[in-house]
Chains A and B, each alone.
Chain A
Amino acid sequence: LAKTTQPISMDSYEGQEVNITCSHNNIATNDYITWYQQFPSQGPRFIIQGYKTKVTNEVASLFIPADRKSSTLSLPRVSLSDTAVYYCLVVPYNNNDMRFGAGTRLTVKP
C-alpha cells in the first residue's frame, strides 16, 4: 500500500487559491488518488479523485504529473468555510483498502 506524505498544516486567506501537495512515491500502476475533506466532529467527505493528468469538478482541481509520484489538490478562491482537514489517499484499483494519514489542516483567515 502506497504511503502518502502531506504537510501537517497550511494557512491561507479568503479569496486565495490553495494548493496542497501529497507525495506518494511508491504508488502502484493501478492505484488512483483520492482526496477527502473533514470538518470537526464530522466524517470525511469525498472531494475529488483521479488517475493521471488533471481532473476538475465544481469544488476543486487535482493535478497529477506523469510519474504519478505526487498530486496537488487545488482549491480556488477559498473561503472561511474551507477551513478543514484535507486527506490524500492512494487507493488500490479494487477499492479494498483505504487508509488515511494525518492529513493537512488548512486554516483560512479573513
Chain B
Amino acid sequence: EAQVTQNPRYLITVTGKKLTVTCSQNMNHEYMSWYRQDPGLGLRQIYYSMNVEVTDKGDVPEGYKVSRKEKRNFPLILESPSPNQTSLYFCASSPQRSGSPLHFGNGTRLTVT
C-alpha cells in the first residue's frame, strides 16, 4: 500500500533531550516536507526536500534539523527540544511533477515538558 509512515505517533519528552521523528514513504517521491500544526495557525512548513541531499528551510525552521540521505526517508531532528516545540507534526511527500498532490502521514503528537 502506498503510504507515508511517521513514527512515533505520540511522544512525550523533556526539554533538551535530543529526539528524532522518522518519516518514510514507499512511493519513490522526490519531494518531502515537514509541517507543524498549532491551534489557529494551520500548517506551517518547517523544512522541505526536493531530492536526495537537497533540503531547504520552510517558514519555521528554527530548532529543527533534517536530512535526506535516501530518497524514501526524511527524518526530523530536534537537537534540544523546548516546550514551544510541543505540536502536531506532519510529514508529506509528492512526486516532483506538476499537478501531483501531497500525501500525508498520520502525524506525530509531540509534547515537550
Binding site for B on A (CB under 8 A): 32, 34, 36, 41-46, 49, 85, 87, 93-103
Contact = CB atoms under 8 A, between A and B. Distances in A.
Nearest to A97: B48
A49 B99 contact: yes
A44 B104 contact: yes
Chain B: number of interface residues, binned into ranges? 20 to 34
Which secondary structure dominates where chain A touches chain B? loop
A45 B104 contact: yes
Given A36-B101, A42-B107, A95-B96, 11 more contacts: A32-B99, A36-B102, A41-B88, A43-B105, A44-B102, A93-B98, A95-B98, A98-B94, A99-B58, A102-B41, A103-B43
27 contacts: A36-B101, A41-B88, A41-B107, A42-B106, A43-B90, A43-B92, A43-B104, A44-B43, A44-B90, A44-B102, A44-B104, A45-B104, A46-B101, A46-B102, A85-B42, A94-B96, A95-B98, A95-B99, A96-B31, A96-B48, A98-B33, A99-B45, A100-B42, A100-B45, A101-B42, A102-B40, A102-B42
B1 interface: no
Contacts of A103: 42-43
Contacts, number: 68
B113 to A, nearest CB: 20
Contacts of B59: 99
Contacts of B98: 32, 93-95
A28 B9 CA distance: 37
Interface of B: 4, 31, 33, 35, 40-45, 48, 50, 58-59, 88, 90, 92, 94-102, 104-107, 109
Closest 9 CB pairs of A and B: A43-B104, A46-B101, A102-B42, A100-B43, A103-B42, A43-B90, A99-B45, A93-B98, A100-B42
